[in-house]
Chains A and B, each alone.
Chain A
């Protein structure tokens, strides 16, 4: 069973929660520190899958077509994170996410171009590691009126002026990513780098025992990236590595989890590591937690949770908002591969204080990579369920 999917579904639920209660101005405002979404969670109870397409069996992925939207599925996302170096030596991290959600199995119809069953949510964050500056913004829109949408050919997904698009008609790569908000402007070109990785069973990521309770899932874990970043009045030429996760599904979330810790690490020797740790209501790690190593050639090496991969928090950090305690530093080991890494946040405070509060930020990696060689690296970590009421409590 693929746990990445479950994690992403949790993210999605967060999105839907936010969507149902998008009471905050959908502007480029920087921080919103209340949590209005949780009061409306009951509207999501018993998410109905009737009428939506389901991920029942493996399928042939077709690129560049599958970069585009799959609106017959309830949910879908384009998730890009990355670490960048500026010419002058400055180090930056970014997160760019567009979530798509079908609010009903079919569009309501009618002659208006605003008529749609599609809704979009976006999060965009930039970490200026050198200057210890972190900024995050969110956006919401319907998939109509020209304000947000996704197109297969040529590939394009946009949410107002945030955009991820293929630069040619017949290939998704190079891809261009643009976003702005809170004084930050990002304009990047992403190359595919390693070939895409199909997660789960050839891209069918099973979540539960029932047929159809699954998603389609692929990722690009190491994409060479270059472009420009503008921070306030400053223009920077940047280059680095980005990571793209793509997933679409209809299934709902199962009970029991309160949050997760997610690691996406790119090592200097060409290996990439994804690790997921689901936390249960009683505080214990969920047995469904898991991890995957991707070789420099793009081969997938599954890791078995508990024995195969061990994650220990080493430090904690308190949110200035309400003293919510987050882990802030880890030791990650894969004994079988002689892997032993120390993961440190590039900045302690990379908490997104948007309608749905969580921590997602750039991290530094050092230690031993697969085979026991000394490596360094960078990556992104996502921590949810530490601040405010947990999603599951809210969902009930």
Chain B
């Protein structure tokens, strides 16, 4: 080990707290990035594996906008059109008391036709007893893994709840897939013969889709298209999977951006501690230079130190990230289930690429953060290197320069934000530009604030007060990054807080307007935010004829995927009292509803219109039973129910287009004076045994919806907290270091007569002032960020408009947070300095 390395090691070991904080900064940053990455990737992988094992080797699928395809099309394609690889599929969802908390996919197929698609259920190599599958009514086939989870074996029965109906289904076979992909893909799937699936899902005569394999040379797309009736459409199977997994892209980008923020804070922590280490060794470094050590060697020494810190941080961060991901994946999956589609994640999908990415990010961030102080250490000439005042002088010059660059960045960021694009990466780049710009403006802002409050301090604290606030300005090279970091951390907290609050209050208001009925009835299903399945007609009949029910609205909804497009198609039969539930952005409510009633067009939700650039008078294309139809858009309404967007039509129009009498959910209007809770109880008491139905009062549904919202933002809250902890630790260490660095100066002050108490007050006053400045600066900056997040990022991510709502508590919290953080940061140095004898502090002279 050479002299320089020894010097490094000695230094680092002597300053353990600093070392620990640096390592902590890197590890927290890496952990947050990795855990979010892992959680999202695992959810994506879970979805893909399941989608692929379920869609098998199909190249194309036949689907219908009406939700179902007529089953006779299979025979027609195989017999009349002689297509070889054609297989019917009936899909749905179930839950089981044996497998709590998981949505299970039901896949109904004909084992005879499965060879080209899903060989694991085609008999033969899989060893399935096809004759038993065919002849056991409603028999199910489970993957071994799912059977293990459910604790059932061949010959047992599996209790399930499917679209509100309870069944005990005989387990006729277990599949033991040989490949891992199928094994994990089937971990949330129960297979049934198509007859059984049709029976339990109550879709006799209908199929969810028809799988096809179209291979070059065997048959052509054109041939197949020719064979299809106008009521169905042919789509690429891969495109559908991509479209579905693409639904969570915006969610993914938002979380990733948030996780990167934690890394940025981590970088600040590194920057700060490396700077501090350079500053503390200024003397040694100067002497080393004087002894003939080259600049390059100094630079290398500092960077190697940083690299060691970074490596340690990365190793810890990876471990920490892995554990953090275990918790996050559940939250991410819950949100995806609530808002997008059903997905079950069995375990974390640890792709080497993700790990490499985190390692590189961690090391890269460390080196990048260490570079400026390392350059500073190596850049100065041996004599000047020892002079702190030189650094400060330069820093002072830099303040207006930084402010200028900051202003330019803000302008550029704003300009980029104005670019009319739906691209999220552009929006986030702009947002980061704005944040960086604002951060660069903070030193100037800090100076201005300290100047502004200077007279107050002079009046209150006399000389000491003046010293405190002047000190902030004179140690700018150290205070500026600390303030900037604190401002960014607090402002992001403010921005997110305002955004979430605005979102919640917008949603709440929207729910007030939308939920007009007194009682809502739907089936229990895999998603908390979207009703699925079909209510029993006799139950609907019973419910609407309840003596206290004065009127009702019906709702039929499907999530449609058409190639790269996905949206929800809804048919509404509205009670007159329910017509007020829409708030239109475009179109006059009376005109729109008049047209809606007579079926002269459809209304579309804001996200639908925004994402597709559709407005009133434009046409929406639908594949009806009779073929493709174009329907005019009558109005665009505010909607926060579906991020993909929704197309709604009157029931009469729907019935004209589609052969589907089903009802997904029901809204009941009660007679005046009726007690909703009592009626719900009464209705539920009349439900047949073996059936489960969810009936909720207006209030219950409203609070349940807000619960889903809160659950959705739980991940955001966790990330926000983590990012803030990193920032907080950074600020703490920066301010503490700043004061510790001033040991000699403070020692001098002690020597000329300041009491320990006075010194403590000086230090605490100074850090508190920094905190206050940061808090004050963070409020407008946070509001700017929230405006960007609400009107740009959210709109572009999800397509909806939120009404900005600024709660005083969010702003108050921000300032309090900054001040308390800064205050805490001042206490330790103050305590230490007051304990140290002035002689000791001055010994260096």
**In this complex, what residue of B is CB-closest to A101?**
B131
Q: How far does the alpha carbon of A92 sit from the alpha carbon of B90 in the complex, in Å? A: 44
Would A146 and B198 be within 8 Å (CB), given that A21-B124, A27-B85, A119-B134 are in contact? Answer: no
Chain A 12-25, CB within 8 Å of chain B: the 1/0 string? 00000001111111
Q: Is the CB of B204 within 8 A of A20?
A: no
Q: Is the CB of A145 within 8 A of B75?
A: yes
User: Is B199 part of the contact surface with A, judged by Cβ < 8 Å?
Assistant: yes
Q: Which residues of A contact B75 (CB under 8 A)?
A: 145-147, 160
Query: A284 → chain B, closest Cβ, in Å?
Result: 34
Size bracket, chain B contacts: 35 or more
User: Is A45 part of the contact surface with B, judged by Cβ < 8 Å?
Assistant: no
Query: B493 → chain A, closest Cβ, in Å?
Result: 57
Which of A104, A112, A158 counts the most chain B CB atoms within 10 A? A112
Q: Is the CB of A119 within 8 A of B131?
A: yes
Q: Which residues of B contact A26 (CB under 8 A)?
A: 112-113, 115
User: Is B110 part of the contact surface with A, judged by Cβ < 8 Å?
Assistant: yes
Would A180 and B134 be within 8 Å (CB), given that A20-B123, A147-B75 are in contact? Answer: no
Tell me how many residue pairs across A and B have CB atoms closer than 8 Å. 128
User: Is A89 part of the contact surface with B, judged by Cβ < 8 Å?
Assistant: no
Q: How far does the alpha carbon of A109 sit from the alpha carbon of B122 in the complex, in Å? A: 22
Q: Is the CB of A24 within 8 A of B74?
A: no
Q: Is the CB of A147 within 8 A of B135?
A: no
Which of A20, A109, A115, A140 counts the most chain B CB atoms within 10 A? A115
- Among B98-122, those with CB < 8 Å from A are 110-113, 115-116, 119, 122
User: Is B127 part of the contact surface with A, judged by Cβ < 8 Å?
Assistant: yes
**In this complex, what residue of A is CB-closest to B131?**
A103
Size bracket, chain A contacts: 35 or more
Q: Which residues of A contact B741 (CB under 8 A)?
A: none
Q: Is the CB of B112 within 8 A of A111?
A: no
The residue that B116 contacts in the complex, of A27, A110, A115, A116, with Cβ under 8 A, is: A27
User: Is B496 part of the contact surface with A, judged by Cβ < 8 Å?
Assistant: no
User: Is A144 part of the contact surface with B, judged by Cβ < 8 Å?
Assistant: yes
Q: Is the CB of A115 within 8 A of B74?
A: no
Q: Is the CB of B122 within 8 A of A23?
A: yes
User: Is A36 part of the contact surface with B, judged by Cβ < 8 Å?
Assistant: yes
- Among A138-169, those with CB < 8 Å from B are 140-142, 144-147, 158, 160-161
Q: Which residues of B contact A115 (CB under 8 A)?
A: 137, 195-196, 199
Among the stretches B76-84, B183-191, B804-812, the one at the interface with A is: B76-84
User: Is B138 part of the contact surface with A, judged by Cβ < 8 Å?
Assistant: yes
Main secondary structure of the interface of A (DSSP, over half): loop
User: Is B130 part of the contact surface with A, judged by Cβ < 8 Å?
Assistant: yes
User: Is B58 part of the contact surface with A, judged by Cβ < 8 Å?
Assistant: no
Q: Which residues of B contact A147 (CB under 8 A)?
A: 74-75, 78-79, 112
Q: Which residues of A contact B124 (CB under 8 A)?
A: 21-24, 36-37, 40
Q: Is the CB of B110 within 8 A of A108?
A: no
The residue that B115 contacts in the complex, of A24, A40, A107, with Cβ under 8 A, is: A24
Q: How far does the alpha carbon of A108 sit from the alpha carbon of B194 in the complex, in Å? A: 13
Q: Is the CB of A25 within 8 A of B85?
A: yes
Q: Is the CB of A22 within 8 A of B72?
A: no
User: Is A117 part of the contact surface with B, judged by Cβ < 8 Å?
Assistant: yes
Would A40 and B79 be within 8 Å (CB), given that A27-B115, A115-B137, A146-B72 are in contact? Answer: no
The residue that B129 contacts in the complex, of A24, A43, A107, with Cβ under 8 A, is: A43
User: Is B381 part of the contact surface with A, judged by Cβ < 8 Å?
Assistant: no
Q: How far does the alpha carbon of A20 sit from the alpha carbon of B122 in the complex, in Å? A: 10
The residue that B135 contacts in the complex, of A43, A114, A117, A146, with Cβ under 8 A, is: A117
- Among B728-755, those with CB < 8 Å from A are none
Which of B78, B138, B199 counts the most chain A CB atoms within 10 A? B78
Q: Is the CB of A111 within 8 A of B82?
A: no
Q: Is the CB of B79 within 8 A of A161?
A: yes
Q: How far does the alpha carbon of A43 sit from the alpha carbon of B132 in the complex, in Å? A: 10
Q: Is the CB of B135 within 8 A of A104?
A: yes
User: Is B423 part of the contact surface with A, judged by Cβ < 8 Å?
Assistant: no
Q: How far does the alpha carbon of A378 sit from the alpha carbon of B99 in the complex, in Å? A: 65
User: Is B71 part of the contact surface with A, judged by Cβ < 8 Å?
Assistant: yes
Query: B138 → chain A, closest Cβ, in Å?
Result: 7
Q: Is the CB of A27 within 8 A of B195?
A: no
Q: Which residues of A contact B199 (CB under 8 A)?
A: 110-112, 115
User: Is A246 part of the contact surface with B, judged by Cβ < 8 Å?
Assistant: no
Q: Which residues of A contact B78 (CB under 8 A)?
A: 147, 160-161
Query: A124 → chain B, closest Cβ, in Å?
Result: 13
Q: Is the CB of B194 within 8 A of A145?
A: yes
Q: Is the CB of B129 within 8 A of A20?
A: yes
**In this complex, what residue of B is CB-closest to A37?**
B124
User: Is B509 part of the contact surface with A, judged by Cβ < 8 Å?
Assistant: no
Q: Which residues of A contact B700 (CB under 8 A)?
A: none
The residue that B204 contacts in the complex, of A29, A111, A144, with Cβ under 8 A, is: A111
- Among A62-81, those with CB < 8 Å from B are none
Q: Is the CB of B112 within 8 A of A22?
A: yes
- Among A187-227, those with CB < 8 Å from B are none
Q: How far does the alpha carbon of A186 sit from the alpha carbon of B72 in the complex, in Å? A: 25
**In this complex, what residue of A is CB-closest to B117?**
A25
**In this complex, what residue of A is CB-closest to B194?**
A114
User: Is B126 part of the contact surface with A, judged by Cβ < 8 Å?
Assistant: yes
Q: Is the CB of A28 within 8 A of B84?
A: yes
Q: Is the CB of B74 within 8 A of A23?
A: no
Chain B 257-277, CB within 8 Å of chain A: the 1/0 string? 000000000000000000000
Q: How far does the alpha carbon of A141 sit from the alpha carbon of B78 in the complex, in Å? A: 11
Q: Which residues of A contact B65 (CB under 8 A)?
A: none
Q: Is the CB of A114 within 8 A of B130?
A: no
User: Is A131 part of the contact surface with B, judged by Cβ < 8 Å?
Assistant: no
Q: Which residues of A contact B113 (CB under 8 A)?
A: 26, 141
Q: How far does the alpha carbon of A145 sit from the alpha carbon of B134 in the complex, in Å? A: 13
Q: How far does the alpha carbon of A147 sit from the alpha carbon of B111 in the complex, in Å? A: 13
Q: How far does the alpha carbon of A28 sit from the alpha carbon of B125 in the complex, in Å? A: 20
Q: How far does the alpha carbon of A26 sit from the alpha carbon of B193 in the complex, in Å? A: 17
Would A114 and B129 be within 8 Å (CB), given that A21-B123, A24-B124, A108-B134 are in contact? Answer: no
Chain A 259-291, CB within 8 Å of chain B: the 1/0 string? 000000000000000000000000000000000
Q: Which residues of A contact B198 (CB under 8 A)?
A: 111-112, 114
User: Is B149 part of the contact surface with A, judged by Cβ < 8 Å?
Assistant: no
User: Is B617 part of the contact surface with A, judged by Cβ < 8 Å?
Assistant: no
Q: Which residues of A contact B204 (CB under 8 A)?
A: 111-113
Chain B 313-353, CB within 8 Å of chain A: the 1/0 string? 00000000000000000000000000000000000000000
The residue that A25 contacts in the complex, of B115, B130, B138, B196, with Cβ under 8 A, is: B115
Query: B62 → chain A, closest Cβ, in Å?
Result: 15
Q: How far does the alpha carbon of A39 sit from the alpha carbon of B127 in the complex, in Å? A: 8
User: Is B5 part of the contact surface with A, judged by Cβ < 8 Å?
Assistant: no
Which of A19, A27, A158 counts the most chain B CB atoms within 10 A? A27
**In this complex, what residue of B is CB-closest to A108?**
B137
Q: Is the CB of A103 within 8 A of B134?
A: yes
Q: How far does the alpha carbon of A144 sit from the alpha carbon of B108 in the complex, in Å? A: 15
Q: How far does the alpha carbon of A158 sit from the alpha carbon of B79 in the complex, in Å? A: 10
Would A23 and B125 be within 8 Å (CB), given that A103-B134, A145-B71, A146-B74 are in contact? Answer: yes
The residue that B122 contacts in the complex, of A22, A29, A107, A144, with Cβ under 8 A, is: A22
Q: Is the CB of B195 within 8 A of A141?
A: no
Q: Which residues of B contact A22 (CB under 8 A)?
A: 111-112, 115, 122-124, 130
Q: How far does the alpha carbon of A43 sit from the alpha carbon of B135 in the complex, in Å? A: 15
Q: Which residues of B contact A28 (CB under 8 A)?
A: 82, 84
- Among B283-312, those with CB < 8 Å from A are none
Q: How far does the alpha carbon of A161 sit from the alpha carbon of B119 in the complex, in Å? A: 23
Query: B506 → chain A, closest Cβ, in Å?
Result: 46
Q: Which 7 A-B pairs have the closest CB atoms?
A: A23-B124, A146-B75, A25-B115, A115-B195, A27-B84, A104-B135, A112-B195
11 contacting pairs across A/B (C-beta < 8 A) = A21-B124, A22-B123, A23-B126, A24-B115, A29-B84, A108-B134, A108-B137, A115-B195, A115-B196, A146-B75, A161-B79
Known: A146-B79, A161-B78, A161-B82. 20 other contacts (CB 8 A): A20-B129, A25-B85, A27-B115, A36-B125, A43-B129, A103-B131, A109-B137, A110-B137, A110-B199, A114-B193, A114-B195, A114-B198, A119-B130, A142-B110, A142-B134, A144-B195, A145-B71, A145-B74, A160-B79, A161-B80
